[in-house]
Structures are given as C-alpha cells and as structure tokens.
Homo-oligomer: A and B are copies of this chain.
C-alpha cells in the first residue's frame, strides 16, 4: 500500500455532507422534534422517545476491544465503519458514539472521531465545542462548587467539614497545574481556605449522570443525590441539601438532548456524552442509544477501553440503567496489539512477527470468553492497519476458525463502509442465528465485595481480590449509607487484564488490589480504585495546540 495517505482532517473536510434538515426527514422526525446547530449538527428532542414508546427497538450492537496499545484499537473507526457497511447492505443502521473531550485535543491527540474513511463529520466541530454539551457540564459542575463554597462562607449551616469536601471543580482542559490547588485565600472576604483541585470535565460525575439518565426528571433526581462533602461526623451532604439540583438541571436542559451528525457516507450518527472509562462507565448516553434504537433497525455503539472495562460496564451498568437489551458484541483486535501482547516492544509493532502475534492471541481468547460468559453472540473484527502482513492476517483468521470464533477482517479505515461489508453480513447472521442468553456478571443486591470479586474473577481471570483496610471500612460505611445496591465501576488500567499495566497477554494467578472506593451516588455506582487514576491530564512538551490554526475563511488547520 504505497498510496498517498490523506490525513483524517483532509478526508473529513472533503466530505459531502447532507444538511440536517434533509437528514431528519429521512429519520421521519417531526418539525418540532429537532433543532439545528449549524446546518450539519442537530439536537433531537426527548419527546421523540415518548412518541415512539410503543415502537419496537432496533438491535443494539456493542463494539469493544482487546486490551489496546496506547494508540488504541480503533473501536470508533470500526463502529463508524460497521454502521456505514450495514447501510451499504441495505440495513437501516445508526451509530451512537461518545463525544471527544476538547482538553486532550489541545494536548496530544489533535482530534478524534473515527479515522480514515470511517469518520463522523463535521470533524472540527465535533472535536472543538460541538453543541456545547461539555461546556454545559463544566458550568453545572462549577456552579455547584461555587454554591458549596458560598454556603461554607456564609455561615455553613450544613456543617460542611472543609477537609471532607469531595466535590472538586472541572475544566475541559489538560491543565496539570490545577490538579492540586488551595482556594479561598485572601482573607475573610474571599471565602474559607481549603485544599481542592480540578478534574477534566469528562471526569465529572455530572457527565456520568447525563449518560445514565433516562429523562429530564431522572436527570434531576440523580443530580439531587450527588454527594459533595461530609460533615465532621462523616454524614454525606448532597446537591439537594444545597438546593442546587433545579439550577443544575436547567443548565443541562439542552445538553441532555442527543446530537445528530453523520458519517463520511451520510450514515446518521448520534454523538452524545463521553464519561471517563475508569472512574466512570465510558459509554455514550443511554438516551443516545435509546434514541438510535427507536430511529433505526440496528444501532452500532461503543464502550471505552477493552472488553474487561468498557464492555463489562456497558453490560453491567449501562444496560441496567437504560433497560437496554444488547444483541451482539463486536470485539476489535489489531495485529499490532496482538504482537504487543506477544512481547514485541512498542517501537517494533510495524514489523511482521507471526510468532509474537500467536503468543498474543491469549488476550483475545480471554475477551471472547468474557463475552461468551455474558451469553451474547459476538464477532471478532480485525481492524486492518497498513503494516499488517497477509500471513499475520491469515494466521489470525485461521486460529479463530479453529477455535470456533467468528472473525472478519474490517478494512474500514482505508475503504469506509465498503471495507466492512463482510463484517456487517457476519454481524447480521450472528444476530439472527447466534446463541443468546444475556446475563449480568453479578446480582445487583449482592454485597459490594461480592460484586468486585465476581468482576475480578469472571472478567479479568484473577484468583481473588485484596481489599485495603480503607476499602473494607468504606464498603461497610457505603452499605450503611444505603449505597450497597449500586453496581460497581472498576477503575483499572486499560492495558492489562490485571491492575498492573505492564502485564500483557493473559496473565494468570494474580490478584486485584482495591485500594479505595468512591461513591458516585447520583450516577448510581460505586467506583473501585485499583491504582492511581489521573483525572486531570497534563499537556505534553509540544502541545498539539501549538500547531493549530485557522485560515482567513475560518477553515480549521492542525487538527489531525
């Protein structure tokens, strides 16, 4: 393949988009059910869900992956490509994706909304301010922080212990200098000094809530429950105690509406919500997935990181919150990542190495088992990269066939929907004929400890879990506080099935250490931390922002 490779932004800017007023007509939306944001973005009113409440829902296809390389496995690219391919084989399909965060765009990434000929557009808008949802979350989050500090400053009736404030502030920015700050300096007119910090907005509990809420009413009920601080006696103080939930809901009343855009091939795509995949569940919104399933026969959606994190959370958390009944899981693997799991150093992944790839297959095998254990039909999609050799591909497909694993090559990056037709046909076939007996990893009313144990053993393949004394104490307190019946959201490295990012492949005979728990009471899950999680990234030495620009006609430059 020595064709000249065009950059993502060049391909995206050359796209022939159709206007949203035409797109909504194809989707048979009524005039009052949508609002344009520019000619190529729209928001869909939640009233559509009400109008179509008795309509049969489309089949939900989840795209997940093996444990990825640092560059990722291309889940978004395969998701977009598969959606395009389904339309090419005359299925009515829609895509539901997460919204990228602007902060990392300014840092390392430069931009992300699929890749090559499987992208969502308008790419610049999606990577910059889009329809303002993340800004609305930033505003709501910080309004609550301001109300909390104002409460403390003006008499502190609720007896907030300033050493036990858990609600930080957020910005959609990679800004390491804000990770740990002291606020309230300057004397009695400037508030009460205390230690605090900033997270990136997508790590806000409000983002997780927006993505799990099923209606405006549910959104408000969840916002009210958020715990922001504790008293000296460790009694939780909530957003409702601060009388903030009405204003926060008001600030989010547009953000809760899903955003409609399109792929390079004019397949309708909803991009809505993008919570972290470690301290949160890493999926686009329930409302987006529901909306797409009402407007199409097939919905292709994704979840962050590998199947041990994203798919587990999609299946154990999101499907419960949204009453979603998934039909099939696509497991994305790349030859590169398999070689990495087989021991190849990261700078040599472009070189052919069939033996190493074979050694790495154990990682894929584990994730296939995981999805089997969920009782769902599945297809492995090999996301083709330019440097993959024919022998590597053949070896991989033969291995899958020997093992009775459904596999298809997806060349969607280079060929768009056309390169995903075989995958699309296979997906349809498996939905129609595959065995299906969906079950969760754990019972929701089992103890927090039991839930974590089941995830560690059944999903990661661990022999057990070590809980720190702090975690044990917290489990007792949380259950006393009435938070015992929440699902668990594991915060673990994405690079390994273990909690050690250097242990690749399919490690055995390991334990998971749960250091600390955090309640996300509004989102409705308990976060179990197995290591340090970075919730405010930093900028690299040469931030991508330094190369960004815009020409005199307003055309974006330097997003890639």
Q: Which residues of A contact B (CB under 8 A)?
A: 35-39, 43, 46, 102, 106, 128-129, 132, 135-136, 138-139, 142-143, 145-147, 149-150, 153-154, 169, 171-186, 189-192, 195, 215-217, 220, 243-244, 246-247, 249-251, 253-254, 538-539, 541, 543, 545-550, 552, 554, 556-558
| Known contacts A37-B38, A180-B190, A220-B550, then 11 further A-B pairs from the complex at CB < 8 Å, ordered by chain A residue | A35-B36, A36-B36, A36-B39, A138-B138, A146-B173, A146-B539, A149-B176, A149-B177, A177-B184, A182-B182, A250-B558
- The distance in angstroms between the C-alpha atoms of A247 and B107, with both chains bound, is 11
CB contacts (< 8 Å) of A176 on chain B: these are: 149-150, 153, 184, 189-191
Pairwise interchain contact A147-B253, C-beta atoms closer than 8 A: no
A185 contacts which of B175, B180, B185, B550 (Cβ < 8 Å)?
B180
CB contacts (< 8 Å) of A146 on chain B: these are: 106, 173-175, 177, 539
Give the residue name and chain of the B residue nearest to A192 (CB).
Answer: B177
A246 contacts which of B169, B181, B243, B558 (Cβ < 8 Å)?
B558
How many copies the complex holds: the figure is: 2
Pairwise interchain contact A153-B129, C-beta atoms closer than 8 A: no
- The distance in angstroms between the C-alpha atoms of A461 and B557, with both chains bound, is 51
Pairwise interchain contact B132-A250, C-beta atoms closer than 8 A: no
Pairwise interchain contact A150-B538, C-beta atoms closer than 8 A: yes
Instruction: Quote the shortest CB–CB distance from A206 to chain B (angstroms).
Output: 14
Pairwise interchain contact B183-A177, C-beta atoms closer than 8 A: yes
Q: Given A183-B178, A543-B147, A546-B243: A556 and B253 within 8 A (CB)?
A: yes
Pairwise interchain contact A246-B182, C-beta atoms closer than 8 A: no
A145 contacts which of B138, B175, B558 (Cβ < 8 Å)?
B175
Instruction: Quote the shortest CB–CB distance from A543 to chain B (angstroms).
Output: 6
Give the residue name and chain of the B residue nearest to A554 (CB).
Answer: B253
- The distance in angstroms between the C-alpha atoms of A183 and B190, with both chains bound, is 16
Instruction: Quote the shortest CB–CB distance from A497 to chain B (angstroms).
Output: 27
CB contacts (< 8 Å) of A129 on chain B: these are: 132, 135-136, 139, 251, 254
17 CB < 8 A contacts A-B: A36-B38, A46-B554, A129-B136, A135-B135, A138-B138, A142-B173, A147-B546, A150-B176, A150-B538, A153-B177, A153-B538, A176-B191, A179-B190, A180-B184, A181-B181, A216-B550, A249-B549
- The distance in angstroms between the C-alpha atoms of A545 and B149, with both chains bound, is 14
Pairwise interchain contact A173-B244, C-beta atoms closer than 8 A: no
Pairwise interchain contact A172-B247, C-beta atoms closer than 8 A: no
CB contacts (< 8 Å) of A180 on chain B: these are: 184-186, 190
CB contacts (< 8 Å) of A557 on chain B: these are: 246, 250
CB contacts (< 8 Å) of A145 on chain B: these are: 175
Pairwise interchain contact B173-A550, C-beta atoms closer than 8 A: no
- The distance in angstroms between the C-alpha atoms of A251 and B172, with both chains bound, is 13
Give the residue name and chain of the B residue nearest to A176 (CB).
Answer: B191
Pairwise interchain contact B128-A548, C-beta atoms closer than 8 A: no
A546 contacts which of B135, B244, B538 (Cβ < 8 Å)?
B244
Q: Given A246-B558, A541-B154: A185 and B181 within 8 A (CB)?
A: yes
Q: Given A36-B38, A39-B35, A549-B246: A175 and B190 within 8 A (CB)?
A: no
- The distance in angstroms between the C-alpha atoms of A243 and B547, with both chains bound, is 8
- The distance in angstroms between the C-alpha atoms of A136 and B244, with both chains bound, is 25
Pairwise interchain contact B143-A173, C-beta atoms closer than 8 A: yes
A247 contacts which of B136, B185, B549 (Cβ < 8 Å)?
B549
Pairwise interchain contact B183-A550, C-beta atoms closer than 8 A: no
Pairwise interchain contact A250-B549, C-beta atoms closer than 8 A: yes
Pairwise interchain contact A550-B36, C-beta atoms closer than 8 A: no
CB contacts (< 8 Å) of A178 on chain B: these are: 169, 183
- The distance in angstroms between the C-alpha atoms of A548 and B147, with both chains bound, is 13
- The distance in angstroms between the C-alpha atoms of A258 and B63, with both chains bound, is 41
Pairwise interchain contact A182-B179, C-beta atoms closer than 8 A: no
- The distance in angstroms between the C-alpha atoms of A17 and B388, with both chains bound, is 58
- The distance in angstroms between the C-alpha atoms of A557 and B129, with both chains bound, is 26
